[in-house]
C-alpha cells in the first residue's frame, strides 16, 4: 500500500467528516440542512472508495495551499462534474456510475480506514473498482438512466415519457435513492476486511444486474450511434469504457453535426430497432449489410438465434444472459430481413451489441485519459469493448512526482 496516499486520504476524510458534523449541527440550529451537506457527503463517498488515486493531486494541492474544508468540498465536487461531463457521448445524456457512490450508505465514511482500504483492494481484485474512475462511468440516455425523458434532443424526439419499469430495463429501476443499494450498513458489525467485502458485494452484484439490463435496452441505439461515429471519424465503439476523453469529445462533436441520426437513435426507444431506416450518409454501410444478409443466408441467422437461446439458458451472470438474449434477437431480425431488407442493419446492431457485452473483458485496458488518474485497469467488470486495446504507460502525476522526490521511490 502507498502509505503516503493512505495518509493523505485519511487526512482528507477526517477533515471532511469534521466539516460534515459542523454542517449537521448548523442544520439542527437552523431547522434546515445546509446545501453544502449533500456535496460533502457525495465527496466523502467518492473519496472513500478511491483506490485509483483519482483525487491525489487535488488533495495534495489543497493541503499545501491550506484550503478550508468548504473550499475542499467545492473543489472536489467541481472535479467530479468535470470527470463525468468528459464521458458524455451526447451532451444531453447523463454519465452514470455503474456502481453508485451511495452504495452501503455511509459505511465507507465510518468503517476503520485500514479495514476499508484492504476491503476495497479485495473488491478491486475481484474486478470491482468504484468511484469517479473511467471504467465506472458510462453514458446513457435519460430514458434508460432513470426511466424518463431527458432534455434537448431526447425531449424533442420523444416528448414527455415515463418508462414502464415493469416492461423496460433501466439503470435505476428502483430510483436514484434506491434503498436496496444505499441502505446504511452498521459499521460496528464490520470487524474485518472480509466483513467489508461481504457487506458490499451483494449490493454491487445487484447494480451489475441493473446495468446489464440497461445496456440491453440501450444496445440498438448505442450501436447506431457507434456506427455513425465510426463512419464519420474512424473511432470505433464510442460508448466503450476504453475510449479516452479526447475520443469521446471527438465523437460528441461529430454527432452534433448529424441531428437526424441522433433523433433516430432516441426514437428507437419508442419504435424499436426495426423502425430504423438507414439515413443518407449511412447508406453505403447499409448497402454492405443488405448485400451480406442473403449471402450469409437463413442458416447463419437460425444458428445465431439458437446459439443465443442456448447461451441465455446456460448463462451464469446477468451480462451473459443479456448477451445471449441480444444474440437471439439479432438472429431473429436477420431471418426477418430476408423478407424485409431494412431489418438487416438492426440485426447486425443486435449481434454486434451482443459481442460487445459478451466481451466483458478481464484483461482489456484502455488508452490514457486526459483527466488525471482515470485509466482503465486490467479487470473491467462492465467494460464494453469488442476488441482489446493496446496498453499505454500511465504518465506520472504531480502527486507521484512529488512523492518520488521526497522518498526517492
Backbone angles phi, psi at 357, to 5 degrees: -65, -45
Do 118 and 112 contact (CB within 8 A), yes or no? no
Neighbours of 74 (CB within 10 A): 16
Q: Cα separation of 232 and 244, whole Å?
A: 17
Averaged pLDDT for residues 239-260: 94
Q: Cα separation of 220 and 353, whole Å?
A: 7
Position 247 pLDDT exceeds 50: yes
Mean pLDDT: which of 145-154, 191-200, 268-277 is highest? 191-200
| Total-model pTM | 0.70
Averaged pLDDT for residues 217-243: 94
13 three-class SS: helix
Residue-wise pLDDT tens digits, 278-310: 444 444 444 433 343 343 334 334 444 444 544
Domain positions in the chain are 89-271+361-407
pLDDT band, very low/low/confident/very high, at 50 (cuts 50, 70, 90): very high
Least confident stretch, 5-14, 374-383, 392-401: 374-383
Q: Cα separation of 209 and 383, whole Å?
A: 14
Least confident stretch, 3-12, 62-71, 98-107, 333-342: 333-342
95 three-class SS: strand
Strands 95-97 and 137-139 turn out to be antiparallel
C-alpha pair distances (Å), 64 with each of 17, 53, 68: 19, 17, 11
Averaged pLDDT for residues 258-281: 72
Averaged pLDDT for residues 48-57: 95
pLDDT at 106: 87
Phi-psi region of 279 (alpha: psi -120 to 50; beta: other; left: phi over 0): beta
Residue among 172, 276, 173, 174 at smallest CA distance from 222 = 276
Question: The cell 418508462 sits on which residue?
Answer: 163
Task: Quickly list H helices, 256-363.
Answer: 259-271, 283-314, 318-337, 344-359
pLDDT at 377: 35
pLDDT at 116: 96
pLDDT band, very low/low/confident/very high, at 33 (cuts 50, 70, 90): confident
Q: Can you read off the three cell numbers belonging to residue 392?
A: 499505454
Do 273 and 346 contact (CB within 8 A), yes or no? yes
Q: Which long-range contacts (CB under 8 A, 24 or more apart) does 22-30 make?
A: 22/69
| Percent of the chain whose pLDDT exceeds 90 | 56
Q: Cα separation of 262 and 318, whole Å?
A: 28
Residue-wise pLDDT tens digits, 93-105: 999 999 999 899 8
pLDDT band, very low/low/confident/very high, at 330 (cuts 50, 70, 90): low
Averaged pLDDT for residues 35-52: 93
Amino acid at each position: 500500500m502507498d502509505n503516503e496516499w493512505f495518509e493523505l486520504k485519511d487526512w482528507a476524510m477526517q477533515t471532511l467528516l469534521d466539516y460534515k458534523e459542523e454542517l449537521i449541527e448548523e442544520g439542527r440550529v437552523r431547522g434546515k440542512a445546509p446545501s453544502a451537506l449533500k456535496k460533502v457527503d457525495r465527496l466523502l463517498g467518492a473519496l472513500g472508495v478511491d483506490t485509483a488515486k483519482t483525487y491525489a493531486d487535488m488533495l495534495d494541492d489543497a493541503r499545501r495551499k491550506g484550503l478550508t474544508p468548504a473550499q475542499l468540498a467545492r473543489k472536489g465536487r467541481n472535479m467530479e462534474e468535470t470527470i463525468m461531463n468528459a464521458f458524455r457521448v451526447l451532451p444531453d445524456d447523463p454519465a452514470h456510475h455503474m456502481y453508485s457512490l451511495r452504495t452501503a450508505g455511509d459505511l465507507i465514511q465510518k468503517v476503520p480506514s485500514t479495514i476499508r482500504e484492504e476491503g476495497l483492494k479485495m473488491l478491486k481484485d475481484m474486478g470491482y473498482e468504484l468511484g469517479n474512475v473511467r471504467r465506472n462511468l458510462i453514458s446513457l440516455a435519460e430514458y434508460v438512466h432513470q426511466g424518463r425523458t431527458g432534455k434537448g434532443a431526447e425531449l424533442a424526439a420523444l416528448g414527455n415519457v415515463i418508462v414502464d419499469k415493469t416492461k423496460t430495463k433501466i439503470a435505476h429501476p428502483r430510483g436514484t435513492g434506491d434503498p436496496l443499494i444505499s441502505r446504511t450498513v452498521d459499521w460496528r458489525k464490520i470487524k474485518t476486511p472480509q466483513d467489508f467485502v461481504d457487506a458490499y458485494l451483494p449490493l454491487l452484484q445487484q447494480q451489475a444486474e441493473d446495468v446489464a439490463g440497461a445496456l440491453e435496452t440501450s444496445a440498438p441505439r448505442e450501436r447506431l450511434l457507434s456506427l455513425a461515429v465510426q463512419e464519420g471519424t474512424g473511432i470505433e465503439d464510442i460508448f466503450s469504457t476504453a475510449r479516452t476523453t479526447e475520443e469521446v469529445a471527438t465523437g460528441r462533436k461529430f454527432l452534433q453535426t448529424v441531428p437526424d441520426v441522433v433523433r433516430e437513435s432516441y426514437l428507437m426507444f419508442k419504435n424499436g430497432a426495426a423502425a430504423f431506416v438507414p439515413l443518407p450518409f449511412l447508406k453505403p454501410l447499409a448497402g454492405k449489410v443488405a448485400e451480406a444478409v442473403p449471402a450469409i443466408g437463413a442458416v447463419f441467422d437460425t444458428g445465431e438465434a439458437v446459439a443465443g437461446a442456448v447461451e441465455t439458458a446456460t448463462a451464469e451472470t446477468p451480462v451473459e444472459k443479456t448477451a445471449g438474449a441480444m444474440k437471439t434477437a439479432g438472429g431473429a431480425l436477420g431471418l426477418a430481413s430476408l423478407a424485409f431488407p431494412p431489418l438487416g442493419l438492426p440485426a447486425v446492431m443486435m449481434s454486434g451489441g451482443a459481442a460487445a457485452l459478451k466481451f466483458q473483458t478481464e484483461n482489456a485496458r484502455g488508452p490514457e485519459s486526459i483527466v488525471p488518474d482515470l485509466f482503465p485497469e486490467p479487470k473491467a467488470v462492465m467494460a464494453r469493448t469488442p476488441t482489446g486495446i493496446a496498453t499505454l504507460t500511465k504518465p506520472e502525476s504531480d502527486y507521484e512526482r512529488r512523492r518520488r522526490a521526497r522518498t526517492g521511490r
